[in-house]
Amino acid sequence: MYLERFRLAGETALITGGGRGIGLACAEALGEAGARLVILEPRLEEAEAAAEGLRAKGFQARAIQGDVTDPARMDACAAELQDWAPSVLINNAGVGRNGTSAENLTDAEWRLMMEVNVGGVFWCARAFGRAMIAAKRGVIVNIGSMSGTIVNRPQAQTAYNTSKAAVHHLTRNLAAEWAPHGIRVNAVAPTYIETPMVLAVPENQERIPVWIADTPLGRMGKADEVAAAVLFLASPAASLITGAILAVDGGLTVW
Ligand code: NDP
């Protein structure tokens, strides 16, 4: 009876930035639970490649091109997906950049972080949320960060952290506004996860021991550990949960 509540048969899940990293792991988790999958990426080839890989694993998956910073394109995606209208939206697309001190942040860096990490979440929620409101049901899971909850060390990360704090509050606001429409809105707040976003930054090699020392469980996380939490929040197992920011952080934020 309880395991059935994790099933997503009959649901369609759209994952922004689902081509790799945490987004791709979320797609696999939701696919295993029975959802049809839509992978949204700025470059169609990347979305197609991910969708093909997912189909090879036996999931129903399709690709769509879209940059989450383009509100008109997100509205167009919602129109194009009328026969695959998402009942589950995973707002995963994000950009991160560590180490630029606040006084040296450029206008362009600040704007990009806000446009993708906050604007993208809002514009996707608005575009795909309209059909959920019409259907009187839906689930949204946003990927926040532990750094939206605390100021992590040792790197300067003012723009990224501020954008993720905004994601957390956007989550709570949408949860309150859309609960009467039958829509649940939650977020996960992961610790450092072994994905290209983190591993591709050479300076992070020196930071990793500090992060591990700061973490009660004594390690970084893996994308599938975030995906498992996303699956829980997206599924009927979390039917009474909305407006929650679920820490997936090995205890990093308990101090
Ligand atoms: P990756 O960089 O590995 O993947 C990010 C994905 O988002 C890529 O597929 C990327 O596409 C896509 N993307 C970027 N910008 C846009 C855009 N404008 N429109 C659509 N898609 C876009 O990152 P992660 O998997 O590590 O991160 C996923 C989410 O998790 C992010 O929101 C991140 O902030 C968050 N997070 C990550 C943590 C970590 O330690 N890795 C920790 C806490 C939170 P493209 O290939 O074109 O760049």
Mean pLDDT of each 10-residue bin along the chain, 255 residues long: 97 98 98 98 98 98 98 98 98 87 94 98 98 98 97 88 98 99 99 90 90 96 98 98 98 95
Which positions are annotated as active-site residues? 160
Residue 19 confidence (pLDDT) = 98
Read off the DSSP letter of residue 215.
-
CB-CB contact of 222 with 119 (8 Å):
no
| CA 11 to mean position of chain CA atoms | 18
**113, 118, 162, 197: residue to mutate for ligand 1 pocket, most atoms within 8 A of CB:** 197
> Three-state DSSP class for 218?
coil
Residue 98 confidence (pLDDT) = 66
Q: Is 76 exposed, middle or buried (0-12, 13-18, 19+ CB in 10 A)?
A: middle
Phi, psi of 109 (to 5 degrees): -65, -45
| Nearest to 136, CA basis, from 173, 174, 176, 182 | 182
As for ligand 1, residues whose beta carbon falls within 6 Å of it are 16-17, 19-23, 41-43, 46, 67-69, 92-96, 116, 120, 143, 145, 190, 192-193, 195-198
Amino acid residing at 116? V
CB-CB contact of 171 with 144 (8 Å):
yes
Instruction: State the complex-level ipTM.
Output: 0.99
Sheet with 88-91, strands from edge to edge, namely 61-65, 36-41, 12-16, 88-91, 138-143, 183-190, 245-248
| Number of the ligand 1 atom closest to the C-alpha atom of 46 | 46
Strands (E), 169-219: 183-190
Strands (E), 58-122: 61-65, 88-91
Residue 196 confidence (pLDDT) = 83
CB-CB contact of 29 with 230 (8 Å):
yes
